A and B are shown apart, each in its own frame.
Chain A
């Protein structure tokens, strides 16, 4: 055992002076050279736990014991990389080494070693802004590895990367762990990932985070299926009523339903949504806002194409928005457009929604059905849309999880729904981390039942 975490509790002062408990009596131990995963819903204190282990924060009670021969830093690899934008790749990697007081030639040697190890050759003189997300995370990993510590903490390191990059990097980290004899604590909210890659998984409950279980993944090796995944979800979300608007019966239905879910909604289900929308007043316009690559627009629309012609607006909010610039994502609009066009589901594709009131005013037609889902990165765009536009959604609004966690827009939408909407549904489940398909299916199902 190298890391002992004993009875850690931690709370913060919130804005109105109350205390919010984030971690409650958390204890576990991690073996030497173990790949140990921690999963839990968003806001359950995973990051806080890592910070406490790394010594960046101190717990209210309990203690962390690290057994190493000498004092060592415990580097964290962050989800948002945290590379210094003013330093080139090589300088970012050498940063931690400079603090150790090592000689310059020794630092340079190490840096080039880790640049090679992380396949960053040729990128030494790039600035972080010139790199993709995956490359940035490679640099961040190299920076942490270069410190040559026994223990490495990873805070959802691949959370903001696309699937392909994620898989590649994950494999590399696994390889490196074996190669370099590291003890890794890996925080994630991806159940499958955690089960598949670590020996043991610590499941934390919703805030305040408590230890729900420490699973030995051997048991799951052969019989891992969605049922098991369900169990773990159940563990994470049980008794977190604060974030549920659905009652137990609903949850039961969600559970039953997710057992048979694969992928997106079927055309029949899309058809149902369409029928729902059609019964609303206004012109036949269905709008989806905030589709990353247009997938959900396609399924939303697929039900409407069976012989009927209706106007479907697919809106991509990612272009020319401040959000977009902030995250420096390459514009996805071309991809979005291509997907929508190939599927032939939309009559109009609208590229830009900016944050101003005027820009959204171009919607002169009432919208029958407005679909607003999570998408945590672009939530501000969606929030603004909800704020400015609810009067246009004559038919119905479905708003999901984090979009409506903002007090302001939620109130607007709720008010609107109370006042004039006949079948508007405001779903509010869990948080973004809960698999998206679950949300969509769940709310769809509830809609159908009502």
Chain B
């Protein structure tokens, strides 16, 4: 029923759009109707797919690196209080800065290549995962730790068998947020310095006044974000069925 509602509202939205433009209430020059967008997509599907894949490459590389570092660092700083006070607060300071603002610096460091893009995406993906992992470790139920210590766990056992899995609900919610952040990080960077990728497509279409392309870009991004989100939830449900039950 919920899914049905979503689809219906989506169709209604497209129909209203199509009608508004069809009856010339809105100028097609500024807002092409969905049918035109569809036509553009079919015509340029190879070009768009290629660029989507490039964006996905940037985002996923950034995501994988950022999330891995985020989880490891989050657990370490969450577990060792002294490190949290030093390293943790240092990281917290950078949390507030838009990661995109580091792009010029990265260009100077790494050259005008795809590396700055990946690095911005890495940074963007890192923070949500790090913050969530860190707080997940801190919030872990102390009674579990007491219980496993009671039956003979040493510090390493506690960290690996209790703290890490126990903070999994927080870690996955951080990782879920990171998907979004990685996509944002990579597309915004592409807009500025890349010739390929969805961000670049959108930016270049602006220069050419290709409004249809400018609309298609965000639409594809939205769809990809949505699908990745769903996929993530499915994987989580499959492998960590207990997460939403505790």
A84 CB contact (under 8 Å) in B146, B150, B166, B245: B166
**Across the interface, which residues of B come within 8 angstroms of A84, CB to CB?**
144, 148, 161-162, 165-166
- If A84-B166, A86-B168, A86-B242 touch, whether A99 touches B144 (CB-CB below 8 Å) is no
> Interface 1/0s, chain A 299-320, versus B by CB < 8 A?
0000000000000000000000
**Across the interface, which residues of B come within 8 angstroms of A338, CB to CB?**
none
- If A86-B240, A129-B242, A129-B245 touch, whether A75 touches B150 (CB-CB below 8 Å) is yes
B150 with A73: CB separation less than 8 A? yes
A95 with B148: CB separation less than 8 A? yes
Q: How far is the CB of B136 from chain A (nearest CB, A)?
A: 13
User: In the complex, A51 Cα to B142 Cα: how many Å?
Assistant: 14
- If A127-B242, A129-B245, A129-B246 touch, whether A96 touches B143 (CB-CB below 8 Å) is no
User: In the complex, A106 Cα to B240 Cα: how many Å?
Assistant: 27
A95 CB contact (under 8 Å) in B143, B146, B151, B240: B151
Q: Which of A60-87 contact B (CB under 8 A)?
A: 73-76, 78, 80, 82, 84-87
**Across the interface, which residues of B come within 8 angstroms of A386, CB to CB?**
none
Let me know if B65 is at the binding interface, CB within 8 A.
no
User: In the complex, A84 Cα to B245 Cα: how many Å?
Assistant: 12
- If A85-B246, A99-B157, A127-B242 touch, whether A75 touches B149 (CB-CB below 8 Å) is no
A99 with B242: CB separation less than 8 A? no
B152 with A76: CB separation less than 8 A? no
Let me know if B37 is at the binding interface, CB within 8 A.
no
**Across the interface, which residues of B come within 8 angstroms of A100, CB to CB?**
152
Q: How far is the CB of A448 from chain B (nearest CB, A)?
A: 43
- If A80-B143, A85-B245 touch, whether A73 touches B151 (CB-CB below 8 Å) is yes
Let me know if B5 is at the binding interface, CB within 8 A.
no
Task: Name which residue of chain B comes closest to A328, CB basis.
Answer: B245
User: In the complex, A129 Cα to B246 Cα: how many Å?
Assistant: 7
**Across the interface, which residues of A come within 8 angstroms of B12, CB to CB?**
none
Q: How far is the CB of B190 from chain A (nearest CB, A)?
A: 39
> Interface 1/0s, chain B 130-148, versus A by CB < 8 A?
0000000000000110111
User: In the complex, A54 Cα to B147 Cα: how many Å?
Assistant: 11
**Across the interface, which residues of B come within 8 angstroms of A128, CB to CB?**
242
Let me know if A56 is at the binding interface, CB within 8 A.
yes
The interface size bin for chain A is: 20 to 34
**Across the interface, which residues of A come within 8 angstroms of B144, CB to CB?**
82, 84
A78 with B240: CB separation less than 8 A? no
Q: How far is the CB of A90 from chain B (nearest CB, A)?
A: 15
Let me know if A144 is at the binding interface, CB within 8 A.
yes
Interface class of chain B by DSSP: helix
**Across the interface, which residues of A come within 8 angstroms of B240, CB to CB?**
86
User: In the complex, A77 Cα to B231 Cα: how many Å?
Assistant: 40
- If A54-B150, A86-B168, A95-B148 touch, whether A127 touches B241 (CB-CB below 8 Å) is yes
Let me know if B154 is at the binding interface, CB within 8 A.
yes
Let me know if B153 is at the binding interface, CB within 8 A.
yes
Q: Which of A127-152 contact B (CB under 8 A)?
A: 127-130, 143-144, 147
**Across the interface, which residues of A come within 8 angstroms of B150, CB to CB?**
54, 56, 73-76
- If A82-B143, A95-B161, A127-B241 touch, whether A147 touches B166 (CB-CB below 8 Å) is no
**Across the interface, which residues of A come within 8 angstroms of B157, CB to CB?**
98-99
B245 CB contact (under 8 Å) in A75, A127, A144: A127
> Interface 1/0s, chain B 144-183, versus A by CB < 8 A?
1011111111100100011001101000000000000000
Task: Name which residue of chain B comes closest to A51, CB basis.
Answer: B146
**Across the interface, which residues of B come within 8 angstroms of A96, CB to CB?**
151-152
User: In the complex, A56 Cα to B143 Cα: how many Å?
Assistant: 12
User: In the complex, A54 Cα to B151 Cα: how many Å?
Assistant: 10
**Across the interface, which residues of B come within 8 angstroms of A328, CB to CB?**
245
**Across the interface, which residues of B come within 8 angstroms of A147, CB to CB?**
151-152
Task: Name which residue of chain A comes closest to B149, CB basis.
Answer: A56
**Across the interface, which residues of A come within 8 angstroms of B245, CB to CB?**
85, 127, 129-130, 328
User: In the complex, A144 Cα to B153 Cα: how many Å?
Assistant: 13
Task: Name which residue of chain A comes closest to B164, CB basis.
Answer: A86
A75 with B151: CB separation less than 8 A? yes
A143 with B151: CB separation less than 8 A? yes
User: In the complex, A53 Cα to B154 Cα: how many Å?
Assistant: 19
A99 CB contact (under 8 Å) in B143, B154, B241: B154
User: In the complex, A80 Cα to B147 Cα: how many Å?
Assistant: 10
Q: Which of B209-246 contact A (CB under 8 A)?
A: 240-242, 245-246
**Across the interface, which residues of B come within 8 angstroms of A54, CB to CB?**
150
Task: Name which residue of chain B comes closest to A74, CB basis.
Answer: B150
**Across the interface, which residues of A come within 8 angstroms of B151, CB to CB?**
73, 75, 95-96, 99, 143-144, 147
Q: How far is the CB of A137 from chain B (nearest CB, A)?
A: 13
User: In the complex, A351 Cα to B200 Cα: how many Å?
Assistant: 57
User: In the complex, A263 Cα to B148 Cα: how many Å?
Assistant: 41
Task: Name which residue of chain B comes closest to A146, CB basis.
Answer: B151
14 A/B residue pairs, CB under 8 Å, sorted by A: A51-B146, A78-B147, A84-B148, A84-B162, A85-B245, A86-B165, A95-B148, A95-B161, A96-B152, A99-B148, A100-B152, A127-B245, A129-B242, A147-B152
**Residues of B that sit less than 8 Å from A by CB:** 143-144, 146-154, 157, 161-162, 165-166, 168, 240-242, 245-246
